[in-house]
Structure 1
């Protein structure tokens, strides 16, 4: 009987974990449309300046601080006793409906209509706000409905769903839109509300516990108590100023994320311009890279559980391997060897999987008890700014090198991927000089009592 109860509890736990991960399918679908399809169509097929497109696509990263605002508001303003579910669903509806307008916006931009650019920026600013709300409410829901013992496993499954969703999305794109026509693009983007809202509803309805009137009053009182009296950004700045290891790690995260994702918005364009690949062929790039990431994460996860590998070693190995993959991609562009593209993507993805395992673990170690939220918020901000800067810079480099005719596409992309490899090697040199032990030693020496209080206040809400 007890075995049956344990089996049933395990099954229910697995179903709950699966449901909590489902909303990431919709999020991954939206990001895949933007970074795999929308960028290729607007830049490669419609001739829109890459800098304009990648700037639009990078906007949402700079709305990451909006998560703090959304989280505070949801804490203090439950709807029907629920603080996460209604806000996540509303954000899913808002974010997904934006995609219905993007095919028309792309055509308008291609025709040089200024209203197309205005509409594009407005749509993606709105998307940035919606995705910030979805991110905060989803992560808060996971934190509130899981125990500390099971949370790590749930987060691993959620991360896996995020990668899988982009692979699945690229397969669907290949089938629905093998070549560009406005009608096929609209048909593809019309799937977005169904996928995003459907995955959110199936994933979270009934998961969150509805608060009673007494619980609601207690939750509102707690939300008032944890609201910081001081500026959390100032507390973060003080932490970076006082701890050279924290400052170095912030720079490392920014540079590594910048290097990994600099090619994200122009990779499909590269396949078309450098090798004349079709839309269907370049859409498959994400499957190769994402598959490499999953394999790398799984293998390193197993290896690190068997062998005493340091997190810094894993992270450094990931940086060096990713740089090697970027170097092979640069060689493919320079020599015109299209056969090297997919192996280099697999190599990049495989070692990016190593990087994910090591760097995410180091982020959790590079925190201070009582101010975990502050430090995780700092590392998250470094990631967001690295992503945003890479998105804008990729378009700027493409426009400055290739669209202006300054260099040929082959040489331009050689310089592009070579630059990424150099930045990745630089990040490897930085992480080799950092230490979790030195971080905590400096923190204990420099963090005054008032700073620690400020960090605790900020960490409650970041």
Structure 2
């Protein structure tokens, strides 16, 4: 038995809950540290890098769910840990205002919990989708679940942005508590009894973790795709920690406005993903390779536009440019995700979770690395250049990485393989 469309939608709610919590830590809390607390951008960059670094454990979580044969417990348990970490991260921001050392200790623990929670819950969810979705539905399932995640990010950022002004510490805690509680409850409802009658429930696999990971790494397709994921996601996440501070410092956005900017960007991601989902999966137009390349090159162009708007300062049309960046980001991401879902089922059997974990780890490492490098470069450049020049230089560098990712996609992806036939068995 495989997942029905309704069950795929239910599991997408877990992705939506994950996105809703994570966006608070990477946008709202990050902005408060850099602008309201006047801390160096490298500080939230290091905290976010920590939570991504912890996600190097993703292959372990994926392998554990492969070996154990039951993924629901990992999904719910990981979400609970993620929720606790996000709430603790909000407390850490408040403590930083009065005690730097105390706030840092709390924040480090919080972001470590966030990394563990995302790794356990997200990897197990993707493995469940990869192993229980019928071959002809996998590309569509990938599109649906990621659209729901981006919708959760955009919706949360938009709502929080409208509610958090005028900002107070008490309001921040209240909002975060409501979001994480709703996410945990939604996850429990989404996965309740879904796995019980699915083929993913299997007898435990006695193979040791290192042997299973080595088997996957020896697969050429899996290895090449891991390297592509690292390069492209480094570019994707380099602006994550600096875009809102850029809006605040250069364009005089308030905390609510900059959080809404993040929501608008993810709204653009949603539209980009939906566009590719309809064109490639529904209408069967275009090869997956072409969608990936177009998304990367479009992202590079949007970053250049965001840079050129900097000298105009307050009043410049930053919002449309950021939505454009989100659109091309979404175009690239959903095409890569469709490939990931298909490749997870190729190669040695019973290693779907391990493959998803490997690619998830590559994405997490790249996200932490990209965010940290972006924040660090901004701090260093601001020592000798204006804010506009410092941020703009980083955006241009990021655009160069997107161009390099497009070139790599051209080399490693099959130009003759249309998106609609990417999934084995179609």
TM-score by length of 2: 0.85
The residue number in structure 1 matching 2:47 is 56
1:379 Cα offset (Å): 3.7
The residue number in structure 2 matching 1:344 is 321
Deviates more, 1:417-426 or 1:293-302: 293-302
Instruction: Summarize the alignment of residues 241-252 of structure 1 with structure 2, pairs less than 5 Å apart.
Output: 249-252=225-228
Residues 22-72 of structure 1: CA distance to partner in whole angstroms, max 9, x if unpaired?
Answer: 222321111110112100011111122221211111222223342333344
The residue number in structure 1 matching 2:421 is none
User: What is the rounded CA distance, in whole Å, between the counterparts of 1:356 and 1:260 in structure 2?
Assistant: 9
The residue number in structure 1 matching 2:405 is 427
1:168 Cα offset (Å): 1.0
User: What is the rounded CA distance, in whole Å, between the counterparts of 1:332 and 1:340 in structure 2?
Assistant: 8
Residues 104-161 of structure 1: CA distance to partner in whole angstroms, max 9, x if unpaired?
Answer: 3112223343121121111111221122111133234434554334444333221111
Flag the 1:32–1:364 CA change in 2: closer, same or farther, 3 A: closer
Deviates more, 1:182-191 or 1:353-362: 353-362
The residue number in structure 2 matching 1:272 is 248
The residue number in structure 2 matching 1:313 is 290
Residues 397-427 of structure 1: CA distance to partner in whole angstroms, max 9, x if unpaired?
Answer: 222222xx32111111111111111221222
The residue number in structure 1 matching 2:149 is 162
Flag the 1:194–1:370 CA change in 2: closer, same or farther, 3 A: same
The residue number in structure 2 matching 1:418 is 396
Retained in 2: the 8 A contact 1:262–1:393?
Answer: yes
1:339 Cα offset (Å): 2.4
1:97 Cα offset (Å): 2.2
User: What is the rounded CA distance, in whole Å, between the counterparts of 1:46 and 1:265 in structure 2?
Assistant: 15
Retained in 1: the 8 A contact 2:153–2:263?
Answer: yes
TM-score by length of 1: 0.79
Deviates more, 1:334-343 or 1:132-141: 334-343
The residue number in structure 2 matching 1:442 is none
1:203 Cα offset (Å): 0.7
The residue number in structure 1 matching 2:238 is 262
Matched, 1:398 2:378: yes
1:88 aligns with one of 75, 87, 93: 75
1:303 Cα offset (Å): 3.0
Flag the 1:94–1:294 CA change in 2: closer, same or farther, 3 A: closer
Flag the 1:129–1:250 CA change in 2: closer, same or farther, 3 A: closer
2:135 aligns with one of 148, 151, 156: 148
Unaligned runs of 5+ in 2: 418-426
Retained in 1: the 8 A contact 2:17–2:187?
Answer: yes
Flag the 1:88–1:356 CA change in 2: closer, same or farther, 3 A: closer
2:272 aligns with one of 282, 296, 299: 296
User: What is the rounded CA distance, in whole Å, between the counterparts of 1:302 and 1:361 in structure 2?
Assistant: 13
Flag the 1:364–1:140 CA change in 2: closer, same or farther, 3 A: closer
Residues 192-220 of structure 1: CA distance to partner in whole angstroms, max 9, x if unpaired?
Answer: 33212111122112223179xxx99x944
SS in 2 for 1:223: coil
The residue number in structure 1 matching 2:191 is 204
Instruction: Summarize the alignment of residues 186-225 of structure 1 with structure 2, pairs less than 5 Å apart.
Output: 186-209=173-196, 219-220=202-203, 222-224=204-206
2:365 aligns with one of 374, 385, 409: 385
1:337 Cα offset (Å): 6.3
CA RMSD of superposed structures (Å):
3.1
The residue number in structure 1 matching 2:423 is none
User: What is the rounded CA distance, in whole Å, between the counterparts of 1:235 and 1:296 in structure 2?
Assistant: 35
User: What is the rounded CA distance, in whole Å, between the counterparts of 2:184 and 2:291 in structure 1?
Assistant: 37
User: What is the rounded CA distance, in whole Å, between the counterparts of 2:165 and 2:209 in structure 1?
Assistant: 54
2:304 aligns with one of 327, 332, 348: 327
Flag the 1:61–1:104 CA change in 2: closer, same or farther, 3 A: closer
The residue number in structure 2 matching 1:449 is none
1:362 Cα offset (Å): 4.3
Unaligned runs of 5+ in 1: 1-11, 440-462
Retained in 2: the 8 A contact 1:270–1:413?
Answer: yes
Residues 150-182 of structure 1: CA distance to partner in whole angstroms, max 9, x if unpaired?
Answer: 444333221111000011101221232123211
User: What is the rounded CA distance, in whole Å, between the counterparts of 2:194 and 2:412 in structure 1?
Assistant: 41
User: What is the rounded CA distance, in whole Å, between the counterparts of 2:224 and 2:72 in structure 1?
Assistant: 38
The residue number in structure 1 matching 2:13 is 22
Flag the 1:17–1:182 CA change in 2: closer, same or farther, 3 A: same
User: What is the rounded CA distance, in whole Å, between the counterparts of 1:375 and 1:76 in structure 2?
Assistant: 13
Instruction: Summarize the alignment of residues 278-289 of structure 1 with structure 2, pairs less than 5 Å apart.
Output: 278-289=254-265
Residues 353-401 of structure 1: CA distance to partner in whole angstroms, max 9, x if unpaired?
Answer: 2212433344466675337746655443332221111121122122222
Q: How many equivalent pairs are there?
A: 411
Rg larger in 1 or in 2? 1
